[in-house]
C-alpha cells in the first residue's frame, strides 16, 4: 500500500447536522497516511466546536478557524494552501466516502505519472443517507492531447463530482483553484485536464448527498450564488465561465501551438457548455420555486 500522504480539505459553514458523521467517515479511510484539514468559515452553529473536538481526539486533524465568512471559494482554497501532502482531496461536510475511496484513487495516481486526478463512481444519496440512484460522471479522460482532454471534459461534465477526487497537490496549486464565479469548479477541472489525464475508479465509492440544505439548492439566483462563492461585489451580475477558460490557457505552461489549440477548443466548445449550464440552472431554479 502506498504511504503517500493525502491531505483532505473539509471546508464547512454551518454544517453541524452532518459534520461529525463526515469527519468520522474520512478518518476511517483505509489509506494509512492522511491529514484532515477542517476549514471552518466562521460558522454560527456547532461546526467549529465539532471540528475542534475531533482535533483533540485525533492528531491527524487540523482546524482552520476564521473570524468572518469570506466565502466558499476562499475557504476551499485555503485548505489547499495549508496542505502538506503530495495528494489532495476536497470533501464536503455532507457527503460520504466508502472506506477504500482514498486508497483506490492513490493507487491509480501512483500507477501513472500522467494522471493528475483520480475519482470513483458516484451514488446519489438523500438527507437520510438512503441510496437514490447511481450517477455516471463519464470523466475517465485518457486522451494524449491536452486540448482533446479539455474538450471531452466540457462535453461530459455534469455534477462535477470529480472535483472531490484525489488530485496531485502541485498541479492543483498551479491552477486558479475555485474562483469567484458560478461553476468555477468546471473551469478548474478544465484547467486540470490541460495538465494531465483523469482516471475513473470503477467502484462506486463516492456518496453524494443531495438535500434542500445543500449550498447549490439553497442558493438559486445569481446574487445568492455570487455571495456564496464570496464575490459580494459582483452579486447579482452573472460572471462567465469563458473568462475562466481564457485565464486557464494563460496560466498553462505550454508552447504557443498547444496554447492555441486549447484556446480554440474553449472558444468553440466553451459557449455551448455555458448555454447548457445556464439552461440546467434555470430548470433547477424552476423546480425549486
* DSSP-assigned letters across all residues of 217-286: HH--SHHHHHHHHT-GGGTTS---HHHHHHHHHHHS---HHHHHHHHHHHHHHHHHHHHHHHHHHHHHHH
**Segments in the chain below pLDDT 70:** 1, 211-239, 273-289
pLDDT at residue 84, as a whole number: 97
pLDDT at residue 103, as a whole number: 98
> What is the rounded CA–CA span in Å between residue 64 and residue 46?
15
Bridge-based pairing of strands 87-90 and 131-135 is unpaired
Residue holding cell 464570496?
230
Residue holding cell 434542500?
212
Q: Cell for 234? A: 459582483
Secondary structure, 3-state, 217-231 = HHCCCHHHHHHHHCC
pLDDT at residue 239, as a whole number: 60
> What is the rounded CA–CA span in Å between residue 4 and residue 32?
9
pLDDT at residue 277, as a whole number: 61
38 contacts 18 by C-beta, under 8 angstroms: no
pLDDT at residue 158, as a whole number: 87
Q: What is the pTM of this model?
A: 0.88
pLDDT at residue 58, as a whole number: 97
Amino acid at each position: 500500500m502506498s504511504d503517500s500522504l493525502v491531505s483532505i480539505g473539509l471546508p464547512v459553514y454551518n454544517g453541524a447536522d452532518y459534520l461529525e458523521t463526515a469527519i468520522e467517515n474520512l478518518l476511517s479511510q483505509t489509506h494509512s497516511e492522511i491529514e484532515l484539514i477542517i476549514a471552518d468559515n466562521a460558522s454560527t452553529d456547532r461546526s467549529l466546536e465539532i471540528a475542534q473536538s475531533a482535533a483533540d481526539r485525533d492528531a491527524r486533524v487540523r482546524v482552520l478557524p476564521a473570524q468572518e465568512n469570506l466565502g466558499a471559494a476562499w475557504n476551499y482554497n485555503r485548505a489547499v494552501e495549508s496542505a502538506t501532502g503530495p495528494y489532495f482531496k476536497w470533501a464536503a461536510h455532507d457527503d460520504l466516502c466508502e472506506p477504500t475511496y482514498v486508497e483506490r484513487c492513490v493507487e491509480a495516481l501512483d500507477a501513472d505519472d500522467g494522471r493528475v486526478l483520480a475519482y470513483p463512481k458516484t451514488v446519489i444519496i438523500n438527507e437520510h443517507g438512503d441510496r437514490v440512484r447511481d450517477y455516471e460522471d463519464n470523466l475517465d479522460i485518457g486522451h494524449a492531447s491536452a486540448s482533446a482532454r479539455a474538450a471531452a471534459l466540457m462535453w461530459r461534465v455534469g455534477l462535477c463530482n470529480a472535483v472531490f477526487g484525489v488530485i496531485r497537490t502541485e498541479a492543483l496549486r498551479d491552477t486558479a483553484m475555485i474562483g469567484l464565479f458560478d461553476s468555477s469548479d468546471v473551469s478548474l477541472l478544465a484547467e486540470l485536464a490541460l495538465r494531465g489525464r483523469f482516471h475513473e475508479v470503477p467502484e462506486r465509492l463516492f456518496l453524494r448527498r443531495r438535500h434542500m440544505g445543500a449550498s447549490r439548492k439553497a442558493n438559486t439566483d445569481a446574487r445568492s450564488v455570487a455571495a456564496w462563492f464570496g464575490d459580494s461585489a459582483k452579486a447579482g451580475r452573472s460572471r462567465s465561465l469563458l473568462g475562466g477558460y481564457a485565464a486557464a490557457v494563460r496560466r498553462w505552461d505550454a508552447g504557443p501551438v498547444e496554447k492555441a489549440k486549447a484556446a480554440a477548443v474553449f472558444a468553440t466548445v466553451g459557449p455551448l457548455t455555458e448555454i447548457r449550464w445556464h439552461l440546467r440552472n434555470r430548470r433547477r431554479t424552476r423546480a425549486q420555486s
